[in-house]
Amino acid sequence: MQTDTHDTERTLRDALSATGQRYTEQRAAVFRYLRSTESHPTADEVFFHVRQEIPGISLATVYKSLETLVGARLATKLTYGDGSARYDGRTDDHHHLRCLGCERVIDLPGQVDDREVARLEASADGFQVTGCRLELTGYCADCSPSPASRV
Ligand SMILES: [Zn+2]
Ligand SMILES: [Zn+2]
The per-residue pLDDT for range 86-97, each reduced to its tens digit, is: 999 999 889 999
User: What ligand has the least distance to the C-alpha of 99?
Assistant: 1
- Show the domain range for 56: 5-88
Predicted model pTM: 0.84
Q: Examine the domain organization and report whether 121 and 62 are in the same domain.
A: no
Rounded to whole angstroms, what are the CA distances from 123 to 34, 93, 128, 129, 136? 36, 21, 11, 11, 21
Q: What per-residue string of b and e applies to 40-62 under the rule 16 or more CB within 10 Å gives b? A: bbbbebbbebbeeeeeebeeebb
Regions in the chain scoring below 50 on pLDDT: 1, 151
Q: How many domains does the chain have?
A: 2
- What DSSP assignment string belongs to 34-75? HHH-SS---HHHHHHHHTTTSTT--HHHHHHHHHHHHHTTSS
Supply the pLDDT for residue 3: 53
Q: Examine the domain organization and report whether 13 and 84 are in the same domain.
A: yes
Q: Examine the domain organization and report whether 113 and 72 are in the same domain.
A: no
User: What ligand has the least distance to the C-alpha of 87?
Assistant: 2
User: What ligand has the least distance to the C-alpha of 140?
Assistant: 1
Q: Which residues surround ligand 1, an ion (CB under 5 A)?
A: 99, 101-102, 140, 143
Distance 61 CA to ligand 2 centre (A): 23
